[in-house]
């Protein structure tokens, strides 16, 4: 793992942008894996403000809530549209189909999409409990796309995006840990002191399903980009 520490989230996002821009300019971004959450927002702003061309890049998102339509303002589909795709069009963009209640069918369809679109660069955030995508602690390392019941702590953390906590869906579809590990290159972004313990466990702790992100220690090409607060326990 390569660790990059910057003082601020803005400076860290600029470093992540350099990695993305370098790959895009060298035509190494046929497929980009994207994440939602507040962490990658500055990176997406930098991409939007750049002259980079993503019209030949496909995107695959990590996850989607079960039960929300793509047009629902709380859906991850809508989030990506708003913060990236409306300004910087991609060739095509894929998400697990949150409108389909048949988890087996959604998983099969998304795994097929991922097999047909091998990820060159996956952008990741991290949950306070070390989750990546929506792979909560305990998720098998050999998992592919699946439906998950969100933990109370993840529901509480994501409630800030919803008008009322009761509106946060309790289930999501997510790429599995094996799906994420199949990416050729990964950038994990973490900002703020509430991520410091998860980052310590991810980088310094044992590789354990109790901390899903710890598996990244076994990936050959991971860059962890941190602000000072997220790096404060390593």
If the CB atoms of residues 158 and 214 are measured against ligand GLP, the closer one turns out to be: 158
If the CB atoms of residues 26 and 160 are measured against ligand GLP, the closer one turns out to be: 160
Q: Which helix (H) or strand (E) holds 21?
A: helix 9-25
* Beta-bridge mates of residue 222: 186
State how far the Cα of 157 lies from the Cα of 29, in Å rounded to an integer. 31
Q: How far is the CB of 133 from ligand GLP (least distance, A)?
A: 5
Q: Which helix (H) or strand (E) holds 61?
A: strand 58-61
Q: How far is the CB of 87 from ligand GLP (least distance, A)?
A: 20
Report the site for ligand GLP in 61-80 (rule: CB under 6 A): 62-63
Q: How many residues does the chain have?
A: 234
3-state class of 148 per DSSP?
A: strand
Interface with ligand GLP (CB under 6 A), residue from 61, 129, 135, 154: 154
Q: How far is the CB of 19 from ligand GLP (least distance, A)?
A: 18
Interface with ligand GLP (CB under 6 A), residue from 33, 96, 98, 125: 125
Q: Which two tokens stand for residue 33?
A: 């894996």
Catalytic residue of the set 64, 111, 120, 136: 136
State how far the Cα of 135 lies from the Cα of 132, in Å rounded to an integer. 5
Active site residue 129: yes
Active site residue 27: no
Catalytic residue of the set 61, 129, 135, 158: 129
Q: Which helix (H) or strand (E) holds 188?
A: strand 185-190
Active site residue 136: yes
Site size toward ligand GLP, by CB under 6 A = 14
Q: Which two tokens stand for residue 115?
A: 């097999």
- Residue 176 binding ligand GLP, by CB under 6 A: no
Who's near 60: CB < 8 A, 6+ residues apart? 31, 32, 33, 34, 93, 94, 95, 113, 114, 117, 119, 175
Catalytic residue of the set 6, 63, 64, 120: 63
Q: Which residues bind ligand GLP (CB under 6 A)?
A: 35-39, 62-63, 125-127, 133-134, 154, 158
Residues tagged active-site: 63, 129, 131, 136
């Amino acid at each position: 793992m390569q660790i990059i520490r910057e003082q601020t989230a803005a400076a860290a996002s600029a470093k992540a942008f350099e990695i993305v821009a370098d790959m895009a300019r060298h035509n190494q971004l046929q497929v980009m894996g994207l994440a939602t959450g507040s962490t990658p927002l500055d990176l997406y702003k930098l991409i939007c403000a750049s002259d980079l061309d993503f019209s030949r890049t496909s995107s695959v998102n990590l996850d989607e809530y079960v039960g929300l339509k793509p047009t629902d303002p709380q859906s991850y589909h809508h989030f990506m549209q708003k913060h990236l795709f409306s300004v910087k069009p991609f060739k095509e963009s894929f998400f697990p189909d949150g409108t389909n209640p048949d988890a087996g069918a959604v998983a099969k369809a998304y795994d097929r999409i991922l097999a047909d679109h091998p990820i060159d660069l996956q952008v990741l955030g991290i949950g306070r409990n070390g989750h990546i995508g929506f792979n909560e602690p305990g998720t098998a390392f050999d998992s592919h796309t699946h439906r998950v019941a969100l933990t109370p702590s993840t529901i509480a953390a994501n409630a800030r995006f919803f008008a009322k906590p009761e509106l946060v869906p309790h289930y999501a579809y997510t790429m599995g840990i094996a799906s994420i590990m199949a990416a050729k290159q990964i950038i994990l972004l973490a900002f703020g002191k509430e991520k410091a313990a998860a980052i310590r466990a991810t980088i310094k702790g044992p590789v354990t399903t109790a901390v899903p992100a710890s598996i990244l220690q076994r990936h050959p090409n991971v860059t962890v980009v941190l602000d000072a607060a997220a790096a404060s326990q390593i």
